[in-house]
Chains A and B, each alone.
Chain A
Amino acid sequence: MPIGMYFALSAVLFSIGLAGVLVRRNVIVLFMCVELMLNAVNLTLAGAARMWGGPDGHVFVFFVIVVAAAEVVVGLALVVNIFFRRGTLDVDVPTLLKR
């Protein structure tokens, strides 16, 4: 099977995740869509590793997973904080970046 099919699948998953990021207003679901995107990228990397026949792609995936984990931890901590300040998980409410 041509290795490009994995890449195409990954592209589709990435786009779905991106659309989800744009559409959803719940912060937690936003995060989950970001995870979708990250996984799509991981898939691409693994496919590339398969294609080139080296372990470097796998190493890359490894690190992406590590970073994603760290990011989720910190991000969710922030989400919790914001929830306790605003009382809502709506991503449109915090507009302190205005002006």
Chain B
Amino acid sequence: MPPLAQASDVAQAVAGTNVAEVILFIGFGLLAVGTAVAVVTMRNVVHAALMLVVNLLSIAGLYLALQASFLSIVQVIVYAGAIVVLFLFVIMLLGVQRDDSLVDVDRRHVAGAVVGGLLLAGLLVAGFVGTYTTAASRCGDQATLTADDFRAGRVGCVGLDHLSSAAAEPTDGSSPDPAQGPMTGAEFLGERLFTRHTFTFEAAGLLLVVATIGALVLGKRHDTDPADDPAYEPAYEPPLLDDFDDFDDFDDDRLDGDVDGPGADAMLVELPGEDA
């Protein structure tokens, strides 16, 4: 049994409640919330990215509290280790300035967003979460739960680590091979992944391939105007508005003045060389 689970068992036996889990939850929880707010409010993009990293790590910690150790490792490796790195690469590539003030200064938007967020959170908590915050939903008593309880449909807050070992014991054919002995959580997860969720797994693989190809195609750097490149022939290039003579009798009077955002000039394509 993994050391954390062992520790929590001890703590539970001692205190009647899973103290370690509570401590982990409170600590990492606060950290997660704090860094999330920081990501949202920080002006410097790099700082925001770093705050994101800390947030992801705190989520990993929360996974540990949930006794999903495999998942926490995956979180660290993939999210914090690859995705955020990708973010940082792009920030570096695009050369965003430190004094880039792109936070919305419109008070109404901010207020609306805050209110909306609060509203949603409140709704979710009140509606869905509320029932599960009572004492009856307390996690614990893993030690007393046997594989029979699990198969009988009784659920308790069983961490993956305990589950795999509990499921390894009996021999009525519906459980994994007992001769293998107790499995790790990863093994149990993998076994489920490759049997029941095989199709999704393959689809996810396909998705990754497609994303890779797409990223390659999209990420091609154009130093010059594509139209100047003799080797570049676009499949379809939408005509600029100026090319349409028919649009002369297009009734622009109907459109002016009522619509938010930039005017019709924004339809024109701006090349990086010409602007800013």
Contact = CB atoms under 8 A, between A and B. Distances in A.
Interface of A: 1-9, 11-20, 22-26, 28-29, 31-33, 35-36, 39, 42-43, 46-47, 49-56, 58-59, 61-63, 65-74, 76-81, 83-90, 92-93, 95-96, 98-99
Contacts of B188: 55
Interface in B67-114: 67-68, 70-71, 74-75, 78-79, 82-83, 86-87, 90-91, 93-94, 96, 100, 102-104, 109-110, 112-114
Contacts of B83: 35, 68-69, 72
Given A28-B45, A35-B52, A35-B83, A20 B157 contact: no
Main secondary structure of the interface of B (DSSP, over half): helix
A32 B197 contact: no
Contacts of B18: 1
Nearest to A11: B124
Interface string B149-164: 0100001111110010
Contacts of B79: 35, 39, 65, 68
A69 B82 contact: yes
B56 interface: yes
Given A24-B40, A46-B68, A73 B137 contact: no
Residue among A29, A72, A89 with max Cβ neighbours from chain B (10 Å): A29
A59 B197 contact: yes
A12 B33 contact: yes
Given A1-B139, A93-B266, A7 B129 contact: yes
A26 to B, nearest CB: 4
Given A17-B36, A43-B62, A53-B157, A81 B200 contact: no
